Amino acid sequence: MKLDTKYTDIQGTFQLCLRCRECTFGDWPDNYHLCPIHNDHRIFTASAGGLIAIMTALSQNKTDYTSEIARLAYECPTCGSCDVCEVIPVRPPYNSPTDLIRFLRYQLVKKGLVPQGELGELYQQIKANGDYVGEKLSLSPNNQGVMNKTVLFAECLHDPEQKNIFQAAIRLLKKMDLSIDIYSHGGCCGASLYDLGFWDELKALLEKRAKDLLLLNDKDAIFINPHCQEFMTKRYPQISAGNQEVKPKHISEILAEAFKSKKLRLKNHQKIRVSYHDPCYLGKELGIYDPPREVLSFLDGVELIEMPRNRRNSYCCGSGGAAGSKAFPDFSRKVTLNRLQEFKDTGADLLITACPHCKTAFQNVLPVSERGKVKDLIELVDELII
């Protein structure tokens, strides 16, 4: 969605909501309840359709912006279950439900209604610094140039845990004899600012980074973080009016290709049973469901036990991206625990995911002694490869 979108640009989409409730549940015949806010509140208002109705009222001055509206808009983890419901259209000139919710967040930010607490503090930091950088990524080789056709997109860390994942990825890419450069200009790509509705700050950030981001044009960019991939490949082209053309691959696709062409060899290891959590942005937003499973299938001795809610019927981890969970951490925790219980019910030894934020969300609610049960796909492969 363009950052200068107004209500008049999106009112057409509002009218298309049928109030059919399909934005709250998954595919037939299981019909799993997939919308985390509706699952908790069990009321129309707490759904994509309900938030669209609120926006309709706001656009017509039938109500005012309030902290109650902010609570609903920011509890939503933008998991995309409503985007894949296939009733509310998601293509221009219309907009996906999650983009409409982000637009609502932007309006709330302009009204000074960013939820207080951790998210409020983060917003103040971003306003002061112009960026959301957890920790600058410092990877070896520390190559800031973009020379090769293939680059690893490795922007800022939002938590130190991601560094392990990136380092494991680099080891694996070396073993595949891939000549890559690391794209790391030390700033947020903008995904979090976009998600959270900090659009004025995002505009400034992207203007500052425009030259850097152009370096990615026509490159084959390998992404580890699905949020960055989704933003850079789907949202940024809309925002930058088509100036950006990144050719993306998720690391799981690269790994799957490497296994098929026998570039990676397995060590001997004990048998383990794993379950795989489809990250919302990798799955529902980017449609990447099979490559991670292909990778797991190449790991002899690793048995995949699917959770009942999987693929496009996957349930959110609760993280809401890098910083979404900072808005209402108790609510996010509830969502995470819901998903974790599903994992526990499988009886699998490990929970594997392919998104650093999902991994962090799961680990944060587990006792320290159990955090090793959650791994990123890259870490698992790195451990099992010669």
| Choice between 86 and 300, CB closer to another protein | 86
Identify whether the C-beta of residue 156 lies closer than 8 Å to the C-beta of residue 132.
yes
- Give the separation between CA 331 and CA 41, rounded to whole angstroms: 11
Question: CB under 8 A: which stretch of 7-15, 133-141, 166-174, 268-276 binds another protein?
Answer: 7-15
CB atoms within 10 A of CB 87: 15
Q: How far apart are CB 343 and another protein at their closest, in Å?
A: 24
Annotate each residue in 285-324 with x if it binds another protein (CB under 8 A) or - if it does not, as one string. x-x-------------------------------------
3-state DSSP call for residue 273? strand
130 binds another protein per the rule CB under 8 A = no
- Give the separation between CA 263 and CA 126, rounded to whole angstroms: 42
Q: How far apart are CB 23 and another protein at their closest, in Å?
A: 8
3-state DSSP call for residue 250? strand
**What are residue 122's DSSP bridge partners?**
none
160 binds another protein per the rule CB under 8 A = no
242 binds another protein per the rule CB under 8 A = no
86 binds another protein per the rule CB under 8 A = yes
Residue 325: burial class (beta carbons within 10 Å; 0-12, 13-18, 19+): buried
| Choice between 16 and 210, CB closer to another protein | 16
Select from 383, 377, 174 the least CA-distant residue to 289. Answer: 377
12 binds another protein per the rule CB under 8 A = yes
Identify whether the C-beta of residue 186 lies closer than 8 Å to the C-beta of residue 136.
yes
| Ramachandran class of 271: left when φ > 0, alpha when ψ lies in -120 to 50, beta otherwise | beta
Q: How far apart are CB 311 and another protein at their closest, in Å?
A: 14
Question: CB under 8 A: which stretch of 63-71, 154-162, 204-212, 355-363 binds another protein?
Answer: 63-71
| Residues in contact with another protein by the rule CB under 8 A | 11-12, 15-22, 24-25, 27-31, 42-45, 50-51, 53-54, 56-57, 60, 62-64, 66, 68-69, 72, 83-87, 89-91, 94, 96, 234, 285, 287
